[in-house]
Amino acid sequence: MFGRHKRIAVAIDTNTGTGLFSQGINTVSALKLAGFDVKVLSVYEPRKVDNVVVVSTIHYVSNWVRKAKRVFAYVPIEGFIKIDKSKEYIDALRSAYSVATVSNYSASMLKYVRSDVYVVPPGIEYNYYAQCSNAKREFDVGIVLSSSHIGDMELTIRKGADLYDYVLQASSYSFIGNKYSMYYLRNWARFAMLVDKPSLVYCSARVLLWLSRSEGFGLPPLEAMASGTPVVYTDAPAHNEHTCCFKVPIKYTWVFDEPDMAYTFLMHEPDVKGIFTALDVAVQDYRDYRDYVMDLAKQYDLKEFSKSLADWLLNAHR
């Protein structure tokens, strides 16, 4: 089906600095590692191709289904699809040649659309620790945010901007963040340093703080762990599939819904006091977890990702 040269196109989000962009680039690298001849396309410009992996949200699958011969939809999802309001997206997912998602949690959200969803956890190039091996952990807490949050109120709520702001204001810890933090955190001046690359945050912080209320997977915690940096994170289903080691208890779960959304987001509201309790323990004990989190992250390196992707694509043809 792919031909002797295993040719395939990969349609990715071309907005750099977003999680979907990173996911797309990692998917391309993993498929090349698996021996595929890959052509990279923009997810925003559907075209006629024989085989394409669409690495994006469900919104863009329908455009590709109308153009491409066989669409392999690799989609994250963070809540229940609105069966009554998302017919176009549901029909596209059902028409796709095959569908995979990033976590068991996301798969459970898609089971109402089709029953044959593959789970292919993302992978990363496992080179973070090499960059961090001689790094000085000068800062207590690292925060990494995405460019996709800027100016999007829905995203800032989902990804916990208000929670980070509160911690920055109320904590005496030293913080390092990536540059996008200053664009939408009110208390960004509390950072001791802002840097361009997330890897510099991972290498310089004792722990990563990850307070996303809604997530299908979440790459920054995995990247931090590959750097030997344990994570303080909200105790939510998708996070618990791969993140370690300091959970912030959830007080309650609520539904974030707007009329124009394709699906509702399940929001996991952390106990604010629990954030500080977890940080206190993590900053004190982070050294005890460095080797352990790196071992966990190895399960999601690019080689494992390439095997999982190849298994999905090749088995889907049988």
Task: Summarize pLDDT for 216-247 with one digit per residue, the tens.
Answer: 999 999 999 999 999 999 999 999 999 999 99
pLDDT for 318 beyond 60: no
Q: Using CA atoms, how far apart are residues 155 and 148, in angstroms rounded to an integer?
A: 8
CATH, domain range 7-123+301-315? 3.40.50.2000
Q: Which CATH superfamily is domain 128-298 in?
A: Glycogen Phosphorylase B; (3.40.50.2000)
Q: Using CA atoms, how far apart are residues 131 and 125, in angstroms rounded to an integer?
A: 12
* pLDDT band (50, 70, 90) for residue 253: very high
Give the pLDDT mean for 48-53: 96
The rounded radius of gyration (Å) of the Cα atoms in the chain is 19
Q: Where exactly are the structural domains of the chain? A: 7-123+301-315, 128-298
* CB atoms inside a 10 Å sphere around CB 259: 6
- pTM > 0.85: yes or no: yes
Q: Using CA atoms, how far apart are residues 313 and 291, in angstroms rounded to an integer?
A: 33
| More confident: 156 or 312 | 312
* CB atoms inside a 10 Å sphere around CB 288: 10
